[in-house]
Structure 1
């Protein structure tokens, strides 16, 4: 296993490629995005991730990493492409199908194919295997196949690639063992072997658990507002119990995994996955809840045509990833309510909205309500006195509970926090 061909050079494929390359293997990375390929070839990043730049530089300079828009022959093929959902909440497997088809002309006897993308259970068996059989190679002997889903979070990808435990599901024992040996190039965590469908289920379970937990927290936030308590304090105290681990509420759930993967189970077993379905609906309803809360705050302050400064477009703090971000939905609903807005995110360089400001000061200027949707470090250290000099009305809605309440109220702001009842 001296040469690896990685299909997909996004948030998972590129870090995985540089990890293998910097551990002595030759990696050929492939992506259909020619612009991204060109940037990587010139040691420029098209995604943001801590530690990626220096690792990419080392991989390119060593000669161990090459990139292009077409695959090459290799010993191992790793597929790390998106697996989104369609508007009707069904799994969209076109990227996995296309990636699998793209490697068929390059497959040879003895190759290993690894799917890293998070997918609905039975994708390897029902989607990939029929395509791989067209290679003419006997599956399980001449061509080994497995699923080893990534289990990392943006911002800590390299730390978690190395130290997290890993699940490897093979279509047979030899496939699983060979995949385990491959990832031992850099994985220090324990590697657990199972079958492909169980591995697919494990990854979906992990993200669905978190989605259901967040939905519970969001329900608690609404209840707390109605009965006059602070949900953040209540959750913190409850989590001191040794067998309780409640997540935190927020304006919705984003990211390519948690907001997507539970739908795989709903589609697979709609009559059985009722709690999972309800949790998805609960979390998907939060952007509208936040938009309506903005409207109610404006009405409380008798502001007829409020201007809102939306701070945070990424789905998570200190990253540039907007996939499935609830911020985009909040903005959509604010527009439906005919509320004027500007939006700003220090980590998002591309213009995604006509109302997107290039500088924080531009977004805050003459705003009536400052709406915090992402807890970027840059927002946590905002100076309330300086902010007061830019805004028109001193009102804040903090959906992440990331601002120091005393400092902001001392500066004259009416600070509203999701999950805390205001007098």
Structure 2
């Protein structure tokens, strides 16, 4: 289920149900019928388990393509957000949005269960995982390169959660990036995460304070507060928007 929409999705989503035998499947179907308005789809346990893993793995693979496109566009001097918007005008194309990596306790984890069951048959899945796991390294390299323009740069990281408008930091690429930058000591690293009050080892500041202090702004999470930042506040700063906050 989607954080922030748990009750809605719990009730309205279709459900794939597979028990270890026919009787257990029937009992599970009876249970879900009490509160689920979505369609209940009956199958066996192994297929149901793999279906859930495939849902998240499909997202991971498609995000990997978007993340790879963002790197290609950076090398070619092309606006990746414009490119994706134009490509998606085709009726059979639906490229997802790139970001600083992939986080959370599902999409970044579930593909490995499929890989462990069939390592020789999952080259695409493994490659997607490598692309998404390496994206934070690319972001750090880009920030490091920009920091060389300053004697004592102040690097402002916008967001730590693994997705917009939540407070969940599990497997978050944004958190990994902020911590790596802090450990590298290439400048002073300050962070704004409006949904969290404190994080060990990181200097969390209010948004206005961060905007006043930062030489380099790195948008890592598309929180609604960041989307409302007046464009004038970005002037005379180096901006790296990894997730299309202002697009």
SS at match of 1:285: helix
User: Is 1:176 matched up with 2:25?
Assistant: yes
Question: How big is the shift at 1:256?
Answer: 0.8
Structure 1: runs of 5 or more not aligned = 1-151, 405-423
Q: 1:395 aligns with which of 221, 238, 241?
A: 238
- Check conservation: 1:315, 1:324, Cα contact below 8 A: yes
- Displacement of 1:336 in angstroms is 4.2
Q: Is 1:344 matched up with 2:187? A: no
1:334 and 2:181 correspond: yes
Counterparts of 2:81 and 2:48 in 1: how far apart (Å)?
A: 34
Runs of 5+ unmatched residues, structure 2: none
Preserved contact between residue 288 and residue 333 of structure 1 (Cα < 8 Å): no
**Aligned-residue offset at 1:335:** 2.8
Match of 2:146 in 1: 297
1:241-286 per-position Cα deviation (integer Å, ceiling 9, x unaligned):
2322211111000111101101111222222211111110100111
Look up the match of 1:254: 103
1:225 to partner: Cα distance = 1.5
The aligned residue for residue 379 of structure 1 is 226
User: Structure 1 or 2: larger helix share?
Assistant: 2
Structure 1, residues 32-86: CA drift from partner, whole Å, max 9, x if none? xxxxxxxxxxxxxxxxxxxxxxxxxxxxxxxxxxxxxxxxxxxxxxxxxxxxxxx
Answering whether residue 153 of structure 2 is matched by residue 306 of structure 1, we say: yes
Q: Give the match's secondary structure for 2:218.
A: strand
Shift of 1:186: 1.6
Query: How many residues are aligned here?
Result: 246
TM-score w.r.t. length of structure 1? 0.56
Cα offsets for 1:321-342 (capped at 9, x unmatched):
1111101211233134323201
Which gives a bigger RCO, structure 1 or 2 (Cα 8 Å, sep 6+)? 2
| 1:367 maps onto 2:214 in alignment | yes
Instruction: Show CA shifts across 1:341-398 (max 9, x none).
Output: 011211113x22332324223333421111110000000001244566xxxx522211
| C-alpha RMSD of the superposition | 1.7
Relative to the length of structure 2, the TM-score reads 0.93
Which of 32, 45, 50 is matched with 1:196 structurally? 45
What's the offset of the Cα at 1:199? Answer: 0.7
Rg comparison, structure with higher value: 1
The equivalences for 1:65-76 within 5 A come to: none
For each residue in 1:77-135, what CA deviation from the matched residue of structure 2 results, as whole angstroms up to 9, or x when unmatched? xxxxxxxxxxxxxxxxxxxxxxxxxxxxxxxxxxxxxxxxxxxxxxxxxxxxxxxxxxx
Contact 1:287 1:333 in 2 (8 A): no
